[in-house]
């Protein structure tokens, strides 16, 4: 249990005690991608959904569990949410913040979500500006360099985006965290348990380690002063983060990270480097190196449970300048990225 000074919280019960059997009213939402006039990355059958119930704030991909030798891999997409609750949208003065810079990881679903039940995965449906799963649930103030807490109130330049006096109170934030943050991590933990529970029988392989992939995209052609990033500077196509310089916990062994990198580079055409905004195909621990996901899922040097099981983690950031122009996706490039990243995951999955 964490005592936040704002009320007690833990990953199972949230702020409100054991609310697993408590029914909350569905939220009417706005699809921020469609509202701002750029292409949605949601599957067609989700693009018209604007009412989100208590059980619907996340999307789970778990059919891989029914495969023999399901790979010991979990993919998370914490910033893929295109939906903003209407009551929040009504209080926002600058809705464009929810789609620009780091408001939405455009393309993350197409790049990271399983298409043929290859891996298990979880993605958020609610905007990270409403509740950010890559922050601590009790962090309302935020930490450097972004200084953004679990519920954002300013953009990365420090400018408020709510109407004056319309910011969310802490008491309004708590049920949002319980509805959005808690289910995401509960489901990740449940999937990890299911992978660990597989026994070496009936064609299955027993897993002592699992790999957590944290899937993101970043704006390669925008300046972000909080991170010292200039729009004009060439940047990598893909950045792999394992916590270097940020955490005392390495995400994964160096030899596995190097194999992952090599496989990625082999599956990305050399011609991409003809684009003058790309500096290289793949970089390790540049700009964004991973923090929360590495601390939670990285190599702690010891088992994470009494059964002697362990976890590893890699954060993957993909440069969206490569696959999105004027609010439209280049689907062929997204397909190439999806295939390359999945090849890299498979290259190390059997070695865990």
The pLDDT, as a whole number, for residue 335 is 98
Contacts of 230 (CB under 8 A, 6+ apart): 223
Report the distance separating Cα 57 and Cα 75, nearest Å. 17
| Half-sphere exposure of residue 230: CA atoms within 13 angstroms, side-chain side | 3
Helices within 105-144 (DSSP H only) = 108-112
The dotted CATH code for 57-82+106-128+178-349 is 3.40.630.40
Distances (CA, A) of 282 to 84, 108, 318, 326: 33, 17, 9, 25
Helical (H) or strand (E) element with 334 = helix 331-349
Q: Which residues of 275-288 are buried (b: 16+ CB within 10 A; e: fewer)?
A: eeebbebbbbbbeb
- CB-based contact 68:202 (threshold 8 Å): yes
For residue 210, the cross-strand partners are 311
From first to last of the 352 residues of the chain, give the pLDDT tens digit: 223 334 444 444 455 554 445 567 889 999 999 999 999 999 999 999 999 987 899 999 999 999 888 999 999 999 999 999 999 999 999 999 998 667 899 999 999 999 999 999 999 999 999 999 999 899 888 776 667 889 999 988 888 999 999 999 999 999 999 999 999 999 999 999 999 887 666 566 777 899 999 999 999 988 887 778 898 999 999 999 999 988 889 999 999 999 999 999 999 999 999 999 999 999 999 998 998 889 899 998 888 777 788 999 999 999 999 999 999 999 999 999 999 999 999 999 988 8
Q: Which two tokens stand for residue 197?
A: 């529970």
**Which of 275, 282, 283 has the alpha carbon at shortest distance from 330?**
275
Report the distance separating Cα 300 and Cα 254, nearest Å. 14
Q: Which two tokens stand for residue 274?
A: 């003809």
What DSSP line would sit under 21-87, residue for residue? TPPPPPEEEEEHHHHHTS---S-GGGTT--EE-TT-SEEEE-GGGGSTT--SEEEEETT---EEEHH
Give Cα 130 to chain centroid, integer Å.
14
Report the distance separating Cα 263 and Cα 60, nearest Å. 27
What DSSP line would sit under 144-212, residue for residue? TTTTB-SS--B-TTS-B-BPTT-PPPHHHHHHHHHHHHHHHHHHHHHHHHHHHH--S-TT----SEEEE
The pLDDT, as a whole number, for residue 13 is 46
The pLDDT, as a whole number, for residue 246 is 84
What DSSP line would sit under 338-352, residue for residue? HHHHHHHHHHHHTT-
Report the distance separating Cα 154 and Cα 304, nearest Å. 36
- Widest distance between CA atoms in the chain: 61
The DSSP secondary-structure symbol of 91 reads T
Write down the domain spans for the chain. 57-82+106-128+178-349
């Amino acid at each position: 249990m964490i005592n936040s000074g704002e009320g007690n919280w833990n990953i199972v019960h949230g702020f409100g005690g054991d609310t697993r059997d408590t029914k909350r009213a569905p939220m009417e939402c706005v699809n921020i991608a469609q509202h701002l006039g750029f292409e949605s990355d949601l599957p067609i059958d989700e693009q018209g959904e604007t009412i989100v119930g208590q059980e619907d704030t996340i999307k789970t991909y778990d059919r891989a569990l029914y495969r023999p030798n399901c790979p010991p891999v979990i993919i998370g997409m914490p910033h893929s949410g295109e939906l903003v609750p209407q009551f929040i949208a009504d209080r926002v003065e600058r809705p464009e913040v929810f789609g620009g810079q780091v408001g939405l990881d455009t393309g993350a679903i197409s790049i990271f979500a399983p298409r043929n039940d290859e891996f298990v995965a979880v993605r958020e449906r609610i905007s990270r500006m409403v509740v950010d799963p890559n922050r601590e649930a009790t962090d309302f103030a935020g930490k450097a360099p972004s200084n953004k807490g679990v519920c954002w109130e300013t953009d990365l330049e420090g400018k408020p985006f709510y109407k004056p006096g319309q910011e969310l109170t802490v008491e309004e934030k708590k049920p949002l965290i319980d509805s959005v943050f808690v289910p995401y991590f509960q489901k990740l933990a449940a999937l990890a348990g299911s992978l660990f529970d597989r026994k070496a029988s009936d064609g299955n392989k027993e897993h002592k380690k699992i790999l957590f992939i944290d899937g993101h995209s970043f704006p390669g052609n925008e300046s972000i002063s909080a991170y010292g990033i200039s729009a004009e500077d060439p940047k990598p196509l893909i950045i792999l983060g394992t916590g270097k310089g940020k955490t005392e916990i390495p995400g994964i062994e160096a030899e596995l990270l190097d194999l992952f990198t090599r496989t990625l580079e082999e599956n990305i055409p050399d011609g991409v480097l003809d684009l003058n905004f790309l500096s290289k195909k793949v970089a390790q621990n540049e700009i964004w190196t991973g923090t929360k996901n590495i601390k939670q899922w990285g190599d702690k040097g010891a088992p994470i449970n009494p059964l002697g099981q362990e976890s590893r983690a890699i954060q993957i950031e993909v440069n969206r300048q490569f696959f999105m122009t004027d609010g439209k996706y280049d689907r062929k490039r997204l397909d190439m990225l999806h295939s390359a990243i999945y090849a890299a995951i498979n290259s190390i999955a059997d070695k865990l």
